[in-house]
Amino acid sequence: MFSSALIPILALVLFPMLVAALLLVIRADGPRRVLVVGAAILIAAGSILLAVQILMAGEIRLNLGLPWLEYLAFAVEVIIAAYIIVKGLLYRRVLVIGLAALQLIFAGLYSFTVSHGMTIYAEVYLDGLTAIMVLVIGIISSGICVYSLGYMRDFQEHANAGVVQAVLKTINVTRGVLRGTGANAEGHVDNGGPEDALEDGADAAPGARDRRPVFFSLMFLFLGAMFLLVFSNKLSWLLCAWEITTVCSFALIAYTRTEESIANAFRQIAMNLLGGLAFSVALLILGLYQIGELNLLVAFGTNAGLLNISVALPIALLALAGITKAAQMPFQSWLLGAMVAPTPTSALLHSSTMVKAGVFLLIRLAPTFGFNANGMMVMLIGALTFLFCTLLAISQRNAKRVLAYSTVANLGLITACAGVGTPEAIWAAVFLLMFHAVAKSLLFLCVGTVEHRIGSRDIEDMDNLFVRMPALARLMALGMFVMFIAPFGMLIAKWAVIVALVETGNLTLLVILAFGSAATFMIWAKWLGKMLAIAQEEPSVEKAAHRSELLAIYLMAALTLGLSIAFPFVSEYLVVPWLATSVANFFLISPAEWLNVTAAIGLDNLIIMSLIVLAFIAVFATFFGRGKKRQVPIYLAGLGLDFEKRSYRNSFSQVSVASQRNWYMDGWFGETALTPVANVMCVAILILGLAVATFAMFSGVPLEGVFGL
């Protein structure tokens, strides 16, 4: 009964963990590089192999039938809880300790009492969605791991330089004090961030502690856990993987061990433990119904009206877990705080792992949503998150923060789609997930490299990047185009969302989406404009980035473009068949829209978009920058002096400098103005949703009866 998929399945879970263990002990740069690159290639190849197998089989179900695996999962959770509790004791975080302990108790109860005698039909379940997730995790995360090689070397050097500088500063300050001039004479004290690149001081430095083995080990452990997460149909395994990813991101966020990073790591783990706690409560409740599998739960949820049992509460709790992990409002602050980590961590958390686990669970649950209380809760949280986080992104100057808000916003859109739960909406959710994964990783990797080269992540400092770093600026522009404009992916998915919303008559969401989309244009267009500005100087040479960084960036760019061209095929041969069989089969009596699933916006329009992308490539390759017109300086209200600085001699013969900053409209869209409002709204929706679901369970009324339309 073991299918041939068993080997790649086991390999994809266990191999990254093995690599993680090896990386922990390897301290030299050379062997680490070989191991990381080799493992990345193997994992990517393995994931492609498994995805092909899934596609050929349609669905793969496996049952290992090893009872001790249940206890292994519990043992892992004990280790995780112990780790969290120790950390919590060290840093005195009572809330975190409490949450971890509580969850451990629930998990123990489940493993040792409830789960006994429960029939499990398929511990592992793979379908079209799994195939997509496997490709996203296997290829994109591997690329990010390769990227980290170069990035972390710079990062370490900067950290070392920071230490050297701090030492020098202390000496100078001491001297100053001795001389009686006071410490202030030394000027500003730097925080030792990457802003000051003392490249030459790196080798001679006593150095910050090199914790890179831990970093790389965590990255690969994360990968293995993500694979386990998307493979698991058995809920207790899913929870186990869920918790490993939480803990891994905790450790990755706290990597730099600064006060801020530790605070943010604890914020992350507190919020995600809350989600995990909701997950384990759901698990216990489901245990009472003898439901131990995600598939079974979705089937019961989908046909709740027919079967006359209510699984509304466990589904609502799992949705809550998904919402925390996907950093939806009011939980968005953990993902924003995660920005303190090195950029590859951000790229990993944002594009291919962690938050994608959250929306993966929500998409899995999507058939049970729709116009019922749970669906309403999920779609409203998602839609409001999309609107508010997009508006909030307008007010941000920090490039990584803009990316973070845009991630949360796009995940909001995916969440809203899952909440709507029609085939069109799920189609859109899957494409949003894919395009977001490739484009966001491209953007993060570019921003990371740019940050190390120009010494800033402020958007205002990216002025003229088009000339200063030609290749990177163009690739970043590509990533941004894919994020918001036709004919590229995110917009096509948004188009599908509009269709789905109009067809279900969902006016509220439609209005929210329309306003959010307009704000999306604002955040990307103004950044693009700044970046693509051209000072009238000869191009300066692009400072060399690490080869591993460029390799990963080119890989992401190729994936982004490839997906933009190939998505009609992806839709036709992967997403639509998955919806029409695997998802549609959950319905005992299919509602009308599930009888004939097609792509949400018609194959002809998809192909038009794909052709426009191709035409763009041709047009850009042929004409971009080939203008041969005579060049003249720009107008500067006087005699232009330095066009890089935009200085000119004005009518009083004095030198003036024209400066122009982007619009951030902080008073309108700033965090102090919007975040509290949004948080209150979303908390209220969550409480209301959970209350209705609880009522539905205890009154035994299927959810459709409680709040149907």
Partner 1 sequence: MNLLSFLIALIGFAVAAPVLGCLIAGLDRRISARLQGRVGPPLLQPYYDLRKLLAKDDATVNRYQGFYVALALALTIFSGAVFFAGGNFLLVIFLLTLSVLFFIIAAYSTRSPYAEIGAAREIIQIMSYEPMLILMAAAFFVATGSFDVSAAFALGRPIIVVLPLIFLGLVFILTIKLRKSPFDLSSSHHAHQELVKGITTEMSGRTLALVELMHWYETVLFLGWVGLFFIWGSWWAAALAVLVVIVIYLLEILIDNTFARVKWQVVLVSSWAVTFVTVAVNLFILRIL
Secondary structure letter of residue 670 according to DSSP: -
Residue 507 CB, nearest approach to partner 1 (Å): 5
Q: Which is nearer to partner 1, 414 or 492 (CB)?
A: 492
Tell me the C-alpha distance between 509 and 197, whole Å.
47
Q: Which is nearer to partner 1, 633 or 700 (CB)?
A: 633
The first and second tokens of residue 562, run together, are 């490839």
Q: Which is nearer to partner 1, 4 or 631 (CB)?
A: 631
Residue 16: cis peptide before it, omega within 30 degrees of 0: no
Q: Which residue has the tokens 């929870």?
A: 239
Q: Which is nearer to partner 1, 624 or 652 (CB)?
A: 624
Distance of CA 93 to the CA centre of its chain: 26
Q: Which is nearer to partner 1, 518 or 691 (CB)?
A: 518
Among residues 385, 426, 411, 416, the alpha carbon closest in space to that of 298 is found at 426
Residue 386 CB, nearest approach to partner 1 (Å): 13
Residue 620 CB, nearest approach to partner 1 (Å): 9
Q: Which is nearer to partner 1, 181 or 659 (CB)?
A: 659
Residue 671 CB, nearest approach to partner 1 (Å): 19
Residue 480 CB, nearest approach to partner 1 (Å): 10
Secondary structure letter of residue 648 according to DSSP: E
Spell out the residues 6+ positions from residue 209 whose beta carbon is closer than 8 angstroms to its own.
none
Residue 437 CB, nearest approach to partner 1 (Å): 22
Contact present, 334 and 264 (Cβ < 8 Å): yes
Q: Which is nearer to partner 1, 400 or 646 (CB)?
A: 646
Residue 487 CB, nearest approach to partner 1 (Å): 8
Tell me how crowded residue 440 is: count the other CB atoms within 10 A of its CB.
Answer: 28
Residue 561 CB, nearest approach to partner 1 (Å): 17
Enumerate binding residues for partner 1 (CB under 8 A). 463-464, 466, 485-487, 491, 495, 498-499, 501-502, 505, 507, 510-511, 513-515, 517-519, 521-522, 525-526, 528-530, 532-536, 605, 608, 619, 623-636, 643, 646, 658-660, 662-663
**Complete DSSP assignment for 345-365:** HHHIIIIISTHHHHHHHHHHH
Q: Which is nearer to partner 1, 654 or 660 (CB)?
A: 660
Q: Is 199 helix (H, G, I), strand (E, B) or coil?
A: coil
Q: Which is nearer to partner 1, 253 or 497 (CB)?
A: 497
Identify any residues that bridge with 124 across adjacent strands, giving them in sequence order. 62, 232
Give the strand order in the sheet containing 655-657. Answer: 639-642, 647-649, 655-657
Residue 597 CB, nearest approach to partner 1 (Å): 19
Residue 403 CB, nearest approach to partner 1 (Å): 19
Cα→Cα distances 573→568, 590, 598, 602, Å: 9, 22, 11, 14
Q: Which is nearer to partner 1, 619 or 680 (CB)?
A: 619
Tell me the C-alpha distance between 275 and 323, whole Å.
8
**Complete DSSP assignment for 417-473:** HHHH-SHHHHHHHHHHHHHHHHHHHHHHHHHHHHHHHHS--BGGGGTTHHHHSHHHH
